[in-house]
Structure formats: structure tokens, C-alpha cells
Amino acid sequence: MPFGYTGKILKVDLSRGEIEVDEPEDKFYRKYMGGSALGTYYLLSEQDPGVDPLGPENQLVFSLSVLTGAPLSGLSRFNVTSKSPLTGAIGDSQAGGWFPSELKFAGFDAVVIRGQADRPVYLWIHDGEVQIRDASHLWGTDTLETEEAIREELDDSGVRVAAIGPGGENLVKYACILTEGKFAAGRTGMGAVMGSKKLKAVAVRGDRSQFEMHDRDAIMKLVRETPSRLEESSLSAISEMGSALGVTGCQAGSMLPTRNFQSGVFDDAEYLGGEHILSTIHTGRRDTCYGCAVHCKQVVAADEPVKVDPKYGAPEYETLAMLGSNLEIGDPAVVARGNELCNRYSIDTISTGAMIAFVMECMEQGIISPGDIGGIDLRFGDGEGALQLIEKIAHREGIGDVLADGYERALQVTGDESEPFALHVKWNPFPAHMPRVKRSLALAYAITPFGADHVSSSHDPSMAPSGSMDSMYALGIHEPRDVESMQDKARFFYYTQMQFSIYDTLEICARAYGLFGFGLLPDIVGAVTGWNATTWELMKAGERRWNMMRIFNAREGFTREQDILPPRMFEPLTGGDSDGFAIAEDEFEKAADEYYEMVGWCRETGLPTDGKIAELGLQWTQSHEDDGGGE
């Protein structure tokens, strides 16, 4: 019997109402391990190129890893993989909470969903049994309303649910999937794929006593050490205030996205920071994921100037920036209300904030008038108008119907004059970090297969002269470099991207797992699975994932031509210490050339070479045949 994983992959065809179970060989798990590597494997091996992302042929994969279910901080995460309706490229999104471990306890390592139901349905997965149940009565309900109704229907308060709200039902192309109202698989539109299949929710329940580890004592020893590790680490501040701490840090570094990325400083940033939130709208409660001691999920509530329901958690840094500073909105209650609406309706806060900033700048430049958006004179700083626009997007009302399809359709409506205001790569909007200051992110945003992303590699302060280089020495990076320099950033991105890629393969929270360190990962994998894992093996598994995603994109027509940055990144920032900072195009292109050559991709096309494909055992992807996990 395997340790750590169940050895079972659930397959559901919603068009036919058919359910089957795959039982891959053990070597399949050793090669792909989980997460989006496993999800991308099924897309590459069982899906034809060119399918409609919102059509029945597009598969939606919920995947765990060989570590999911172990009661250690940072290990309860799941991945959702599909062809993205927003980008047309690989879609990839992760979330934490209690749903991931419960799905493992329910008996499966992944759920592969294809087809489209003829009516709204939800999946009920429990103790190895699976049912497709009617969800017509749930269609139109918010995410938490859906969860509560399903628990009542199943008469079990311990059921964990991943659901969509009206945003997913209405096929907002950046709709997300929510569990417990606050853990969001947020990016690339996986909630829209779920909505297109008329799949309202996936409900899971299992017996955790059935989960077995090779060396339980070794894992429990780490569990017992966790409180002291937390007390001695910087994560204690994250536990107290959450990622809202990032607002203060980014403001101090003049790299807080402001006014649609025109500036890196926001005059009211202090009101969005962790300390202010803690002293004003924080309830004193903190939620957490299964087995995690960090408790970083803050809980806020407010009655004025807007009502904020604590059930939907609190805005993370990304939300505070994209619905706050980037819109020049400095009231944390307003941002928290925006976060609540996005979570209720299941739409991505990052992409939603980006689309609102786009409209604000178009309004400022006279490209859009109040009459175009239902009479709202939407300007930077208008919190009430921003909240109204969230409602319109989620329900596809008026201008919201255009914005719900993302930048591509918005530019078709507003014209070429507005193109400089669309901050995206591969149509995926920028998250809330500043490539003009942290230069490795210029490569990360441009090259990441699913578009601009901020958690696919480390950020530049990790190798800054003023910081600690300990984590970099372990990767073989010995020379510190200024944050705003492009020197050596291709190697920095390559090495840390492989590291983060194995985190996303093993479904590890990079934040919470900081309690243990990358060097301990082979021991943890070995204790859970019994494998004699090595750092080399894990890094290569992460690299395999990255290349599989690149191969998927190549089948969909993507090449180096899409690895580009929007024009604003080559224009200077204004204000603060980063005033005048801009990326030099020649330096960016040189760094990209270096990166392609380092990773074994063709410099001209940006595609993996035959040698790289052979090295990673991915030759089967060239014939579109299932290799069964073999070499």
C-alpha cells in the first residue's frame, strides 16, 4: 500500500454522467508527484489541442500531492488546472484551507472532470464513493450560501466544499473557486471553467485515520517543534497581521502599485497596512488551514462606512494593493468590502482590481464617459464606484459584461488609445508587485506559462546586499545584487523558479513552509512517502512541471512572441525613491536570452529543445501518447 497518496484518480464525465477510477503505477506518482504537474499531465495526455476553454472537451483537474493530508504546516493545498478561458494558455491556480486534506481523506489524489452537465450539479465525494447530485436549487447562490446549503442537505457540518458563485456561473473569465468563503483558487479563470460545466461545487468528506505515512513519528516530531520554530521566525508577524504587512514594506521601498502602476507610493498606504487594520477592523480572530500553526488568515468586520461580513475573511496584500492603493482607495473597510464581494461572487480580486484601474484611467483620459458605465463618474479614489463596478462585473451588467471578459475584449471596445493602460502578460493581469523595482519579476511576469504571476519565484530582496543571503547560498547564488539591477537576475529567476515549481507540484504553501526550509524537504517527502528522495530529484520534478506547462502552451500556439511586457514597464515611475525607475528594453531582452539558454529552451522560439524534453523524460508529449508515468 502506498504512503501519502491513495493511488486513485477520480474521473468524472458530466455529459454522460459516468464515473471511473484510474489507479496509476507508483512510478507515476514519483515522476509527477502532484499539483499542476499532475493536472498538466492529464491535459497533455488526454486532451486535444485547440479545444474551447468553456466547451465540454476542456478538462478541469483538481489535484493534490503525495504530501497532502500530512498534519504539518503548509501542506494543505490543492491545485486546479485547465485551459484558461482568460488567456487560452495553461490555467493554474492554488488554494489552501481544509478542503485539500479532506479530499485526500475521502480517497482520491485528484479529480479529472470533463464534459458539461445538462443542469447544475455538484459532486459528492465521501469515503471512496462518488455521486453527481442535482444543484439546480443552488444555482445563483453565493459561495458560502452554497456551502451551508450542501452541509445541511448532507446533514454533516464537517463536509468541505469548493464552490463557485454568480461570477463563475456567469462565466466571468477570471472567476475563481472558493472554499470556506476565504480560500480562493484565484487566478486564470478556473471558476469560469467550472461554471461552463454547470458544476456548482465539489463536496468532500473522509476518514483521516485512513491516511498513512511511512514515518509518522518523524512528521509528528516536526509538528511538536513547530510552535518554537514559529516563535523564532519572522512568520510570527504574519500570524499576527497577515500579509497586510506587505503594504507597509512595499510603500517603504516605493514599490506599492498605485494609480494603475504609474507610481510606487500611495499617500494613504498606512491605512491599508497590517498595524492599522489590527487596530481598527480586525476582529481578533485568525483562521488557518488544516494542520497549520501559522494562522495567517485574518478576520475583519465593519459597519461603517460599509458593512463587512467577517465570514469572508480579510483582504490579503494582493487585494489591499489591487483594490486599494492601485485604485487610490485608502479606506481598509471599503477594500475589505470589495474582498467580500469578490469572494461571495467567486471572482479574482487581482484581476477585478486591474479591470477597475483600467476603467479609471480610461475615464481620466476621456476615453470612457460616465454614460458608458451606467452613470458612474469613476475616478481614482472612488471606493463607492469601485464597489458598484464589482457588482456589475460579477453579474455581467452593462459595462460589466465587457470587463468580465478581461482586457482583450475591453480593448476591442475602448480602442488602441487605451492599450497602454492594460497591464498584463498573455492577457493575465499584473499582480501587485513592481517589476520596475524588483527586476527579476520582469522575467517572471513575461515568461511564466500562465501569465504574470508573483509566486512562481523568489523576489529580488532575497539577494539584496542589505538582506540575508542564506537561502541563496543554498541554491548556489553567492553574489548579492541590487533589487533594481538586471545583473544575474536570469539565474536567480531560474533557480528560485525551480524551487517554487516543486512547491506547486507538492502543493506546499511557500509562506508557511518557511518554518522548515527547503533543505528539509527531501526528509519530509521521505517521511510521508517512504521514498529516498533527494533535493536533485525534487528540483527536477519542479522543472518537469514548468516544461510540461510550456509544452502545453506550444500546442496552443504560444511562443517567445508572447513573453513580453506591457509598454508601461519601460516608462519611468513617478514619486518616492523609485521616481524615474524603468526597465531598459535591451537589458530585459538580454536577460531573457540568458534565461532561455540556461533552461534549455530555443532562444528564438522560447520552446523546450529536444534535449531538454529527453532529459526530463517528456518525449511522450511530442506524440501525445500517455506514458503511464514511465521513462
Reported CATH class of domain 233-429: mainly alpha
The HSE-up count of residue 627 (CA atoms within 13 Å, CB side) is 20
Cell numbers at 39, concatenated: 493536472
Of the candidates 171, 160, 173, which has an alpha carbon nearest to the alpha carbon of residue 203? 160
> E-strand spans in 398-503?
424-425, 428-429
pLDDT at 363: 97
Q: What nine digits make up the cell of 211?
A: 491516511
Indicate the pLDDT class of residue 631, thresholds 50, 70 and 90.
very low
Beta strands in 96-174 (DSSP E): 110-114, 121-126, 129-134, 160-163
Q: Are 179 and 97 in contact (CB under 8 A)?
A: yes
DSSP H helices in 18-128: 26-32, 35-46, 99-105
pLDDT band at 471 (very low <50, low <70, confident <90, very high): confident
Reported as type and span, the H/E element at residue 11 is strand 9-13
Backbone angles phi, psi at 299, to 5 degrees: -130, 125
Instruction: Evaluate whether 342 touches 348 at the Cβ level (below 8 Å).
Output: yes
Residues 6+ apart with CB under 8 A from 63: 34, 35, 36, 38, 39, 78, 79, 80, 81, 109, 110, 111, 507
Question: CA-CA distance, 412 to 69, in Å (whole number)?
Answer: 46
Helix, strand, coil percent values for the chain (each to nearest 5):
45, 15, 40
Q: Exposed, middle or buried: residue 408 (CB in 10 Å: 0-12, 13-18, 19+)?
A: middle
Instruction: Give span(s): CATH 1.10.599.10, the chain.
Output: 440-622
Give the whole-angstrom CA distance, residue 559 versus residue 364.
Answer: 35
Q: How far apart are CA 464 and CA 460, in angstroms?
A: 6
Take residue 594 and report the three cell numbers written for it: 540568458
Provide the Cα torsion 313, 319, 325, 326; round to 10°: -150
**Which own/partner pairs from 129-133 qualify as long-range (CB within 8 Å, at least 24 positions apart)?**
130/10, 130/12, 130/19, 132/12, 132/14, 132/17, 132/19
DSSP state of 485: -
**Angle, nearest 10°, between helix axes 535-555 and 35-46?**
40
Mean pLDDT of 299-319: 97
The answer, yes or no, to whether residue 625 has pLDDT greater than 80, is no
Instruction: Specify the domain boundaries for CATH 3.60.9.10 within the chain.
Output: 9-210
Q: What is the pLDDT of residues 489-498, one digit of tens each?
A: 999 999 999 9
Residue range(s) in the chain whose domain bears CATH number 1.10.569.10: 233-429
d(CA 21, CA 41): 16
Judge contact between 83 and 51, C-beta under 8 A.
yes
Residue bearing cell 471572482: 347
Mean pLDDT value across the chain: 95
CATH top class, domain 440-622? mainly alpha
User: In angstroms, how far is CA 149 from the centroid of its own chain?
Assistant: 27
Q: What is the 3-state secondary structure (H, E, C) of 593-614?
A: HHHHHHHCECCCCCCECHHHHH
Q: How far apart are CA 465 and CA 468, in angstroms?
A: 8
Q: Are 441 and 582 in contact (CB under 8 A)?
A: no
Pairing mode of beta strands 9-13, 110-114: parallel
Name 286's bridge partners.
298
pLDDT at residue 629 in the model = 56
Distance of CA 145 to the CA centre of its chain: 23
Residue 371, C-beta contacts closer than 8 angstroms, at least 6 positions apart: none
**Residue recorded with cell 483537474:** 61
pLDDT of residue 630: 47
How does pLDDT run across 44-58, given as a tens digit for each residue?
999 999 999 999 999
**For residue 120, cis peptide bond before it (omega within 30 degrees of 0):** no
**pTM score of the predicted model:** 0.97
If pLDDT is split at 50, 70 and 90, which confidence band does 533 have? very high
Q: Write down the CATH superfamily of domain 9-210.
A: Aldehyde ferredoxin oxidoreductase, N-terminal domain (3.60.9.10)
Nearest to 170 by CA among 322, 11, 395, 325: 395
**pLDDT tens digits, 414-468:** 999 999 999 999 999 999 999 999 999 999 999 999 999 999 999 988 888 877 7
How many angstroms separate the CA atoms of 79 and 509, rounded? 12
DSSP 8-class letter at 449: T
Report whether 333 contacts 304 (CB < 8 A): yes
The size of the chain, in residues, is 631
pLDDT digits (tens, 9 = 90+) for 110-120: 999 999 999 99
What are the tens digits of pLDDT across the range 545-562? 999 999 999 999 999 999
Local confidence band at 381 (pLDDT 50, 70, 90 cut-offs)? very high
| Tens of pLDDT, residues 246-295 | 999 999 999 999 999 999 999 999 999 999 999 999 999 999 999 999 99
